Each structure stands twice: as C-alpha cells, then as structure tokens.
Structure 1
C-alpha cells in the first residue's frame, strides 16, 4: 500500500487502542482495541511468592527434623522417624510451662526434649527488635515491640509468654484492656531464644551431664540459629541452580543481588557504581556545574579552579549546604545570573547534586572519632558498594573483613563496628541506589569534566565511548519489541508496551511505511488503581461542584434563578467563584453572585498561564476574573501583570493566594509562577509537563522508536503525548466517553492519530521532539499566539467532518483479546481445608464434610459463630461428637452467663455492650479446659465444626496423616475441549483444570496424561464416538449461530462452569467487561451486569472458533485439528 498514514496508539494498563489515519483525506482506514490481562504480572509475582513460601516451609520442617534427630541421637527421645518425626512429642503438655520450669527445676528427659523441640519450632526473628521497629511505622506495633524489649531485660521469652498466657489466655493477638483493644505481639529476637536455650541446658546439665554435653549444646544452638541468608538464594554446593549464588556453570557469587545491579552501558563488563560512592557523587556535582551558564564568567562557564573550590567546600563541610548560595559565593553572581540548572519536578525549584550523602556520613562519623576525609577515594567507593548491596550486619562485617581490611590498615575492628552501627547513614531517600555508570567510566570522565566545561554525553561522544543508538537497529526489519520493553522495569507497563509495539510491526507489514506515530501512555501501573483513581476523581469533582453550587445559591438567595440559567459555562464560573472565595484574584475585589448571574459579560474565565504557552486547558489553569482585568492582563502571567503595575499588586496577590484553603496546589503553583515565559527553556518545560510525555517508560518508547526508524533511514516521526491533551480534544469535540465498553480505546487512538494535523502546528510549532531526556526536551516551540487564536487553531477540526466520522465509527472497531494458554498458573486458591467423614442429619451413610473453625470463643465474633452453629445442630461440632462432657461444659457456660454487660460511655451514659459468656467465665475461672480428672485438660479457644459437603478438590493429605484429610478448593479452569457427537447431533464439552496438568521430568513435557484425560472425558459424559472440534482457552472468541432463526452472536469464552450441569460455560461480551443487555441473540434472556452462564452451544445451533491477528482481523474455523493437544502418553 502507498497511502500516507498516521498511527495513533492509546496504551492503557490492560489495553492498546490503535487507529490508522489516511493523512491525505483524514479517513480512518482501520481501528481497534487490543485487550489483555494486566494482572498476569501480579499472578507471576504471587507464584514466585508461593514458591518462596514452600521453600521456607521445607526449611522449617528440615530444622525440626534435624532437632528431633539430634535429640534421638543423645537419648532424650526413644524413637525417631523422618516421615513422622513430630509424633514423639506430646502435645498435651504446656510447652511454656516446661521451658520456664527448665530454667530452675529438674525436668524429665521427655519433658526436656519437648521444651527444646518447642524452642526450635518458634525461634524468633533474626534481627534486633530495634530494627523491627524501624521497619514498621504503626504506632501500636512499635509500642508493643518496646514493651517486649523492656521485658527481655530481666526475663526470657518463655517467662514473658507464660505470664501472658496465664493473665490473658493467649500469647499473641488483641486483648481487651480497660475497654480498649491493644495488640499483644509474640515477637522476640533469635538471640533471646538462644540465651534461654543456653540457660535451660546449663540448668539441666547438672542432672544429665552425659547427655547435655558441650558438643550437644553447640550442635543444638547451630540448629536453633541456622538461617539461610537472603543474598544466597536457593541451591547449595551440591545442588546448584541459576536462581541462587551457586550457578550451574560452577561459578559461585558473593551476593545474589550483584546480578540485579545492572551493567554499565559504556563498559559492558563493569557493574554500575553505588550512587553513594565518592566517585558517583563527585561526578554528579561536576556534571551539574558543567551544565550551568553563569553571566559573570566571560564564556559563561565555570573555570576549573572555581569547580575545585566548590568540591573542597563540600568535602570539608558537615553542615547542610545550599548549592545555589555556594555557587553565587564562588562565582560572585546573583541567582538571576545562573541558568541551566535542573528543576525539582515537584517543587519547580533549582536542584543540584551536592554530595549530601558524603557529608551526612562525614557528619555522623566525626563525633565517633572517624574522619572520612582522610580515606582514599577508592576505599570509600568499595565501602559504599558493600553498604549499598548488603543490609545484614553479619554480611557487612564479613565483606569488610575479607575484602577491605587486608588492604587498608586503618580499617580496625573498632572502625568496622562503628560503620555497622551507623550503616543507616549510607542510606539514600530515592530508589536510585545505583548510578547509571560504572566507576571505570566515571573515573575516566572526571578529570576531563574538571578541566573542560562539558557535560557527560558530550565528553563520551568526543572520547568515542558512545555510538549513535540508531546503529543498534540497523539489522532489524521490524521492531525488536521484547528488547525494547525489557528496558521498562515495571512488568505491567512493559507488557502494555510489548503489545503496542507488536501493533506497530503489524501496521508496518500491512501498509509498508508509517509517516507519523503518536502514542499516549498509561497514567497508572495497575488496572484497579486506574479505575480507583478515575472513580475518586469523579467523586471529588462532583463533591466540589455540589458544594460550589450550594454556596452560590445560599449567597444569592434564589435557587430557582440559578436553576433557570444553569449551563456548563455558568457551572464553571460558579466553581471558580467558590474556589476563589468569591473574589477576583487579579483585582482583589468581591465578585457578587447576582452580577455573575445577570451580567456574565462583565466576567471572563482566564487561562492563568496563557494556553499557547502552557498547553493547559484544565480547571487548574483557569480563574474567574473581571473582564476589565483580563483585558489588561492579556497574554501575560499574573506575575508579569502585577509587577508591571496591574491589578492589586504582586505582594497582596501572593498573600491572598497563599491564604486560600480551597485552591488546589496546582492552581496556586500556576498563579504564583514567576519565570519568564519568553524564555525558550521555560516554554519547553511546559511542553514536557502538559503536552509531550517525558516519564521514564515514555522516554524508552519514544527514543527507541526514533532510533529504530533513523536506523532504517526512514522519515517516520514519533511523539508521546500526555493523556490530558487527548481528553481536552475529546471534551471540546463533544465526544462522550463511556468506559463500560472497549470502544473508547480505539476512539481515543483516532484522536491521537490526528493530533499532528491540528492547525496549531502549522505556525512554527511541532508536537514531535528531536530527543527527550530525563530532565530535558529538544523541540521547536514556535511563535507566541493570542489565546483566542491558539484555541481556535487547536480545537478546529483538522479535516472536514472528522468529528462526525468519529461519532459514527463504533461499528468499524475491531477487537483482539489475548488468549491465556499458559500452563503454570495457580491451580487453586491458597486456603487449605480440613475434611472429616461423618453422618449428619439426613445422611444415609458417612460423607466427607469440610471443616471450619469458630473465631476465638472469648470474643463476640467467636461467640456469635458458636451460636449460629449450635442453634442449627449442636452435633455439627466435632467436640460434641468426640468429647460430649467437655462440650456440655460449654453449653452450661452459655446458659449461666449473659451475653451483654452494662458499660458507661464517655458521656456517662449506661449502655449495653455485647460480650462473650466465655469471656465472663474466663475472667472468673480462667480459660475453659477440656474435661480431665485434675481439671488440667487442654485449653479450649475455638471449635471445629462440619461446614458443608465436599465438592471438587485437590487432595493434599500428607502420607503421615491419620483419620483426616486436607484439600484445596476453588480449582482454576485451564481449557475446555469441544466435541461433536454424530449420534445425538449435539456438541459436548469437557473442562480441564490446572490441577489436571502434570510435568513429566523424563521428557520435560507438561500436559495431561491420556489416562487422566479419558477419565475426565468419561466423567463429563463425552461419548467415545464424539469427534474433537477445538479447544477453548480463556478469552478465545467464538461465533454461535441458530440456523432456524438466523440469529448469530460472537462472544468471549471464559470457562467451563457448573460442572454438575452438562455443557454449561461462562461467556463474556466481545466489547465489554460485563454484559450490559437483558437479552442476547441465540442465548436469550440474561441478567444485566451479571455472569452469563449458559450451555456453550444451545440445541440446534452451530459453533465456530474465531482466531484474530493483533489488529483484530478474524479467521473462522469449525475444526482445529484431528485431536486435542498437550496429551501425554
């Protein structure tokens, strides 16, 4: 095809809208929405977390096995089996009582074994409580940790735990103290448990000296403190894996996280430097100084001597330093003489690198007798690497002792301890812990940067260390989308970009060349966050509008008059009047509601910063003012207007704005903007803020696409624009946006595609930047226009009837859904259910039931759980069947104690407050215990009961279990296979779940075994004579037609559902998240905004599977192949 086209891409969190526009005539050639699952990255993270949990559980189990084996080897227990190691230890003894007794009294060997085994089961956190306090800012949590820390000064964990158990009936949870709940934390450091174990062993050694030897103590304490360091990862010397430090290649790393640092882009074999290293901080300072242009210097550039003065001042100072003040002092200039500095994106104030972390470390260590100014720079660089990479004291100490102490005599053991104690002084507030360059690159550049007034990229190019990026793509015919997206670290944004670049490739294949590519990137990284943000914005907007309207009506005193004249423009005026507290900010005078209503011509809605400069038409850049004031202000900013003698004067205006509690931060920022808008750099900043998207992911996409097309020597122009710009165009063109369906993605893409052809770009301006950096943008700004001319050129239709075309475009929109065929998804929800067999009510034979447990019986919730089950059938409680006497004790407590009590509230009013009868009993007699001769039976805290009959499940019962069963429920569906029965002339389906899949190690294949497949096929009632048609995965597209009525519909397949009902599936609309209709063709009546659960193919109907390419072009098939795939023989 030889058409000149513009491609618009609306990239969302879970969608990409695209539109191909004919540049010559403005016709939309094709458009569509590509939809995919944004939660896949979260599911991958969940899967990794579960894998980590399984490893942790295996290690915990191994620790208990090793402890039990050791106790058996020394004779403290009589038998040991690795498969059933826990059965030796008695569960009806109070382990806290045994541990406390063991500190001062003789224990039997069996009691001692139980006490030591219990310590290994719960051996505490690996770091100090003070560090745990640092990790959590919750006040209750912090206060509870401090209580524990104080108690440990003269008690062991067991003594603290036993006292709490006797006083509160629990060692952790929330307790009622004086009518308010407080947390009870069972968090103690591993060191406290080790000290307790040593005390127990020391006391009991006098009774069992041949058993509790020094060697036994060493082996036991090694097990108690054993912990795999986080930086080691999985695997070992004997069992190597590429996911830990023990690589399958035979290489062993020092720290697993070294792999995550990344490598230098100049010297590929070098790791990136720590951001707090001396070299990195010095490099950043020099780069900022070389970017400056200072009027007091002849050539505008700071000479080497002055740079050195600034560096020396920063090195020697331990106080907070203002770089602007220091530069002015050294350069003998004023603030207005300095240009070229970076601006903080949040405050818009000058921002400089100032070696602040180096000075912080210096300030922290000097009072401790350590002066870092005497340290070699190379030592500080290596130290910074170790302190940045490691967080645990032991690993920091090991690396300092082995890597640095042999080379530097001044690094004594005392200094190492000081560094470990003050490790937090090396922390930085930003997430950028690693510099983009290696030490090798920066050390090569720093001497040149000190001597020459050139910034890093200029020097790198001159030194031949960087090559034009477009050279990387010379050998590619199409975009290497995986390679480009890999540079975007957020998995959600990376996936969206991959899908968008696939669309670019598809358009290239189809049309040959693309003249313009315009992209809009997502605002959020999460689909749910995006929905919440939109919902919150709409709610806040509506709330402000309602408040403004009520305030205006109350001030006017005539609701009907406002109602009669209310329109969009008046509503905006009312909102601004309300936000400005009824005053014209320019003149400082009151704006009366009756004047606004009756003489609206006397008032203007003005752009605070002219729209032709700011590209901002939002409410945050608008103010309601008297028309006379607006006429005087013209194309000036409020600062220029006031300082030229207009309005109420700058000082009064600034004070009034700062006093306001209703104006938003952005409105205030715009109103108080005091820079010169004639300055090209200032105008470029407005472009990057409101027009061209300069966020990290946007820069990666923009610069990669530009480099790709330059490498192919094609004139394709690329830009990434802000979503607010598209939103403004949609609003002014009166194109209503409905988020209920997927159409709006494609419509937005069409607006994006036509953006380069707006009239405003024909006057020296452009939407296409030459290059976008982290803080800079290279783009033509064009001439300054009057706001009215600018608005006309911006909002006028670029082609005749273009908006009309968009209003009628929905039927032409194509949809493409990403189908999920992946096998390694989560097989079920994580909750493990216990199952017991019993005979209840009308059961004719023992049946498997799921078990549930009540909440703590001593809480109101726990008592309500008890009552709910008890009133239905007391025999549902396991205790009622197994131990009737103990259960009767509970019944008697309920009968003899009330379930409420009188309390006096803060207003001295007596009120009835719910309380558990079991709690009232506990306050008098202690916790309820199971029946025993000496009333020393186990405590009863909650009760298990038979909940409901067991359905489909995965049996995960351990082989060592006796008379019980544990299962997983909510099995996730994977695939549904569709068959045609020629005998009955009906379609038959069978559903496969992730739990049906197996991985065969010998063949390295994953799938379902033929035996299992045939068994499910039989269970689902699929005939042996039936002919396989195709497999359906989630989001596969189907077409179903009724030949008798002529009805036809296309739907999205979701999953096999209602397994007890033959042939039922869940379906979803092609163009929406949920169904918006009461009746749909072929399937008949459905519930609006509810699940569509229907037989896949109604009787007498036909079904086709539809595949689509990424642009949404459909390909129908009635049969996929002779047999289903992924069947393992």
Structure 2
C-alpha cells in the first residue's frame, strides 16, 4: 500500500495567494525599474537612486497644470507606477464578497470623480487633508482614470509624444489573468506562450490556458468536453434525471411527456421545477422516487441557469437556435475577461447589438466542462428521449464504456496529459508503479481492484468533530434541563446517569429493543434497572462512542448478550419481551423514526 499527505483546499488557496503576491510584487518592481531607466536614458534623471520626496500627492496635483522639475516628475511617475488602479475587466461573481465590495467602491469613486470633475490625485489629496487613510477599498479607482491623470500631467512637461506614449505604456501595461505567466520574449510551459518545434525549428506558439486545461471526453478520448453550462449539456442532465424517476412504484416518464416538458417549460422558461413537474405528471411528489438529493436531502432536478438568464435579453431568433446559444456559452466558458468575451462574440457575426453583447460578456458563473463531449451527447440524448434508460445504461448497452487498451511496451504508463489534482496525480503514478511491479513478479492478472481510503481530509474531520462536540453539549444541556424540570439538582447525578438521560431523550423515552416506556423515576433511582449497552458488541467493534450506545432494560441487555441487533432478532429470544418491537422489521422502523445521526442508524 501507499500513504500520501493530503492536499487540502486551504493549502492550495494559501499557495495560490502567495504565488499571486510574489508576481504582483515582481511586476510592480519591473514597472518601477523600467520607468527609472527610461527616464535615465532620456537624461531626465542622472541616477536611478534619486531622492524620494514626501509630498507626491501635492506634486501630482501641481503637475495637472504646471511643469514639474525633473526630480518631481520622476517621483510622480514612480508613484503612479506603484499603484495604477483596477481594471476589474472580468465579470464579478456575486458570491465573492471581496470582489463585490471592490466593485461597489470602484463604482462609487468613479461617479464621485465624474460628478465633481476631479482627477484622482485631487480626490486623494482631499482625503489626506481630512485625515482619511488611503490604504483600503475606499481608495480604489479605475485604471482609465489613472491614465487620464497621467496623460494630463505629461501634457505639461514638454516631453516628446513618443516618450509620453512609452511612459503610459509602461505604467498602464497589464496582463490579463487568462494569459498566465511568461510572455512572447520569455515563454514558459505554464503560460500562454510556449516553445514549440516545427520541423526542428524553434517557434513560439500561443495557447488558451483554459482550453489547455479542458479535459477530454470520458467516451471519445480525443474529443474535448462540452461546456457544462451549455444548453445541450443541461438537456443531457435533465433527461438523465427524468429517466431515473419512477412514478407510483413502476411508472416511467414517456417520450411524449419528455418532449412536452422540453417544449413547454425548458425552451420558453429555462427550467422546470419539481412542483411543476409533479403537477404536470398528475401525481404528488411523494409518489415519485429517484430524484437526486442536495446536501440537505432535498429533491433536486437539473435547471438551465445560464440559458434562463439569456432568455431575458437575447433575441428570439438566436434563442430558437440552440447551436447559436451554445456557441456563445462556449466562448464565455473559455474566458472571464470581459474585453476578450466581447471580441470573440462579435466574431460570431450573430447580429447582436452592443448592449446585448455587453450583457453577455458580463455574465457570471459560466465556467467548467462536462465529463462528456458533444459527440457523445449527440449519440446518447436521442436514445434518452426515446427510452427510459439513463446515461450509464445507454453507454453500457452501446459498448461505449470500453476502456482503451495500451498495447505498446511491457509497462503501464502514466498519462501525463490527464487533468488531475497534484494528490490524484500522485495516487495514479504510485498505483501504476505498484501494479507494474506486481505484474513483473506474478505475471498478468485477470482483473485488478485498487482500493483507496474514503477518509475525509483534516478540515472536514475538524468540522465534524466541532459539530459532534456542539451536539453533545446540546444533549448535556437538555439532560440538565430535564433534571431541573423534575425538580432535581443536576449536580447530584453522576456522568453515567446523565448519559442514560441523553439516550432516554434520543430514544424518545423507550427501550431500544422492546420499545417499552422507560420509567424515569426508576432510571434515576435504580442504577441496575436500565443499562447502557453497545449496539455492535465492543469485543467486535472496539467502538465506545455515542454512535454505538443505546439504552435497554436489564432483561433486554441480558437477552441480547454479545450479539448484533440482527443476530438478536434472529435468535428467538425476542418473543420473551412484551413490547411493540418483536421482530427485525419493527425494530428497523423504530430506529428510522428516531431523530438521530445517520451513522448511528
């Protein structure tokens, strides 16, 4: 076996934040150095280590209308190179609180500049004089407004147009996040510019990073996966949901019903919710089984979230052609950069006006890819409409789930092109190494089963422990409250008795194996009347947690002995207990009716 250190989301986030911080500092340093050496080469300064002036905001305001000295100009340009505003040229996710706060401050500050006809330096200087600190979200301004101020300052400095343009280019240059690291001059395999060899000649090629990270279809290995938010992918998921449903125990949704759901609900409204579905089917929700469940165990069904947003503003002639809709969603998925989205949508030549294009470009939550390709869905969707089979049944029946065979070489090789997390990649590589060694030692196997642990990661375990502790504290509090209600002093009762009270509450005042009412006075005054027993015998499970404890009468506990509940109810001893629980079925129904954790059930 192989053991690995887990890779948690928190660690990944910290790593990405540190890397982002390093890049920001590096690029800021490069801009400042580029400005300094540009000024040095044009004889504006004689040394890159010039004196730093402490009234730079006043100098920026002065530069709006007056010529600055060379030293003053150098200080102003370096200050602007350090912080040159925000472009926020990606669609803002409403669930990202920090982005929403920044966008709100940006809108407010931009409106203030426009209303009062101010440059940024004038607004900032006014804040400084009133004692307001500039290092927070309230000080965020658009890069366009910084560029406007920069050009106004340069217009008064008697510099050549060529030099002015070079200064603006250096200070305002910005790399879109989708470009990744590196550049044409400094290509890297991690960025959008990469070294390639064509006929032995070294060339630089440009790639779309999101497209590069796009996985391949689970069925057709050379086909790219379809955009997860596309109409076709959502239709595929909805049909799979519908075919998984069973009505009144044996009924299935017909082809005609599925087509009517698509034509009457999905296409005009962008979704069908469960109440609408069951009403259309003429049944109650409780009569339908097979729904998917969310974390709250609530029934859910596929919705067309992106398409439903487009219905509001996209012209009917475009909406009526799903190929047009999916071509737009494909572009939105590839990049979140608004400018790139606008440019690519215009290339589709769909005759959309600027307002519609801008609304499309600013759509959020349009990301990710399905596990299958369009080619696979084009095969599976028609059969899901015609039959009541789900996707897995169709894939199996059509032999689409055949694994690729590796025929070359004596060893199984790792697919380095697979899009996997670092931990998953490590697991794959180690598993392949182990299998290759076993094949070398024992020859070929008929089949190989690889088992991985299902333990949660540290953060999940901590959360579960905290929730358990909170639940136990609540149970202890209720035990004390129960004693107080009985005019008893909780301090007069030991931990074992309080534990019995907690189990009494859990079991709704009934013994676990007979369902007989528990005499509360007897429980408090006679320590032998009711006993705490291990559901799965401790000698077997070594589990002494609350999940393995229940409260039984002394006779029930003796009759059960060192058996599991199933063994006990199969032993014939149950009939001697006079209670509503007298077989496995009644015991199972009683346990399922209790408000206890799933693990305990």
Aligned twin of 2:257? 306
**Cα displacement string for residues 1098-1128 of structure 1 (whole angstroms, at most 9, x for unaligned residues):** xxxxxxxxxxxxxxxxxxxxxxxxxxxxxxx
Work out the CA distance in 2 between the residues paired with 1:571 and 1:64: 69
Change (3 A) 1:590 1:427: farther
RMSD between superposed Cα atoms in Å:
5.0
Q: Secondary structure at the match of 2:195?
A: coil
The correspondence for 2:147, drawn from 169, 179, 194, is: 194
Q: C-alpha distance in 1, partners of 2:491/2:361?
A: 73
* Structure 1 residue 124: Cα displacement: 1.6
Aligned residues: 561
Q: Is the 8 A contact 1:162 1:171 kept in 2?
A: no
Partners of 1:133 and 1:321 in 2: CA distance? 24
Give the match for residue 569 of structure 2. Answer: none
SS in 2 for 1:257: helix
Match of 2:59 in 1: 98
**Does the residue aligned with 2:85 lie in a helix, a strand or coil?**
coil
1:325 maps to which of 271, 276, 293: 276
Aligned-partner Cα distance in 2 for 1:455–1:562: 58
Aligned to 1:921: none
Question: Is residue 229 from structure 1 mapped to residue 176 from structure 2 by the alignment?
Answer: yes
Are the counterparts in 2 of residues 129 and 145 from structure 1 also a CA contact under 8 Å? no
Matching of residues 950-1029 of structure 1 within 5 Å? none
What is the rounded CA distance, in whole Å, between the counterparts of 1:544 and 1:516 in structure 2?
47
| Change in 2 beyond 3 A, CA 1:134/1:337 | closer
Structure 1 residues 264 and 531 mapped into 2: Cα distance closer, same or farther (>3 Å)? Answer: closer
Deviation at 1:462, TM superposition (A): 4.2
Residue of structure 2 aligned with 1:413, choices 348, 354, 358: 354
Q: Is the 8 A contact 1:314 1:355 kept in 2?
A: no
Q: Is 2:432 the partner of 1:491?
A: no
Q: Which residue of 2 aligns with 1:342?
A: 291
Match of 2:306 among 348, 357, 361: 357
Match of 1:401 among 314, 326, 346: 346
Instruction: State how far apart, in whole Å, the 2-side matches of 1:347 and 1:129 are.
Output: 33
SS of match in other structure, 1:252: strand
Q: With structure 2 as the length reference, what TM-score do the two structures score?
A: 0.74
For 1:149 and 1:630, the matched residues in 2 are separated by 76
Aligned pairs (5 A) from 1:625-640: 631-632=580-581, 635-636=584-585
Q: Does 1:166 align with 2:115?
A: no
Distance in 2 between residues matched to 1:138 and 1:62, nearest whole Å: 26
- Kindly provide the CA deviation profile for residues 749-799 of structure 1, in whole angstroms up to 9, marking residues without a partner as x: xxxxxxxxxxxxxxxxxxxxxxxxxxxxxxxxxxxxxx9xxxxxxxxxxxx
Deviations 1:921-964 (A, max 9, x none): xxxxxxxxxxxxxxxxxxxxxxxxxxxxxxxxxxxxxxxxxxxx
Residue in structure 1 matched with residue 466 of structure 2 by the alignment: 536
Kept in 2: contact 1:556–1:594 (CA 8 A): no
CA distance in 1, matches of 2:153, 2:303: 55
Given candidates 331, 338, 341, the residue that maps to 1:386 is 331
The verdict on how the C-alpha distance between 1:273 and 1:317 changes in structure 2, with shifts beyond 3 A counting, is same
Distance 1:217 1:520 in 2: 62
Residue matched to 1:283: 236
Match of residue 524 from structure 1: 456
User: 5 Å matches for 1:541-560?
Assistant: 543-544=473-474, 546-547=476-477, 550-551=480-481, 554=484, 555=486, 557=488
Partner of 1:376: 321
Query: 2:524 matched to 1:597?
Result: yes
1:452 aligned to 2:381? no
1:436 matched to 2:397? The reply is no
Q: Deviations over 1:89-113 (max 9, x none)?
A: x302411111112224443344234
Distance in 1, matches of 2:481 and 2:287, equals: 47
The question of whether the paired residues in 2 share the 8 Å contact of 1:98 and 1:115 is answered with yes
TM-fit CA distance, 1:415: 2.8
Alpha-carbon distance between aligned partners in 2 of 1:509 and 1:308, rounded to the nearest angstrom? 55
Answer with 1 or 2: which has the greater Rg.
1
| In structure 2, C-alpha distance between the alignment counterparts of 1:486 and 1:604, rounded to whole Å | 60
Report the Cα distance in structure 1 between the residues aligned to 2:90 and 2:344, rounded to whole angstroms: 24
8 Å contact kept, 1:362–1:372? no
Note the 1:889-900 alignment, pairs <5 A: none
CA distance in 2, matches of 1:488, 1:552: 56
Q: Distance in 1 between matches of 2:332 and 2:166?
A: 32
1:356 is displaced (CA, Å) by 3.9
Pairing 1:703-722 to 2, within 5 Å after superposition = none
Q: Specify the SS of the correspondent of 1:523.
A: coil
Deviations 1:709-749 (A, max 9, x none): xxxxxxxxxxxxxxx9xxxxxxxxxxxxxxxxxxxxxxxxx
The whole-number CA distance in structure 2 between the counterparts of 1:357 and 1:605 is 55
Residue segments in structure 2 that go unaligned for 5+ positions in a row:
197-202, 536-542, 557-576
| Preserved CA contact (<8 Å) 2:53 2:72 | no
Q: 1:576 aligns with which of 475, 497, 503?
A: 503
- Residues 1:496 and 1:258: Cα distance change in structure 2 (over 3 Å): closer
State the distance in 1 between where 2:480 and 2:213 align: 56
- The 1-side partners of 2:498 and 2:447 are apart by 42
Report SS of the residue matched to 1:231.
Answer: helix
Q: CA 1:607–1:191 in 2, change beyond 3 Å: closer, same or farther?
A: farther
Shift of 1:264: 1.0
Are residues 1:61 and 2:61 paired?
A: no
Listed one character per residue, the Cα deviations across residues 956-1015 of structure 1 (whole Å, up to 9, x for unaligned) are: xxxxxxxxxxxxxxxxxxxxxxxxxxxxxxxxxxxxxxxxxxxxxxxxxxxxxxxxxxxx
Name the CA shift for 1:416/1:114 in 2 (closer, same or farther; >3 Å).
Answer: same
Gaps of 5+ in 1: 1-8, 10-15, 17-33, 173-182, 609-615, 643-649, 658-662, 671-689, 691-723, 725-786, 788-1129
Cα shift at 1:60: 2.7
Distance 1:629 1:112, change over 3 A: farther
Compared CA separation, residues 633 and 315, structure 1 to 2 (3 A): same
Q: Which structure features the higher share of strand residues?
A: 1
> 1:394 and 1:133, CA in 2 relative to 1: closer, same or farther beyond 3 A?
same
- TM-score, normalised by the number of residues in structure 1: 0.43
Which of the two has greater helix per residue? 2
Deviation at 1:583, TM superposition (A): 5.5
The one of 182, 193, 216 equivalent to 1:246 is: 193
Q: Aligned runs of 1:766-845 on 2, under 5 Å?
A: none
User: 2:77 — aligned with what?
Assistant: 116
CA distance in 1, matches of 2:141, 2:24: 19
Q: Is 1:125 aligned with 2:78?
A: no
Contact 2:531 2:552 in 1 (8 A): yes
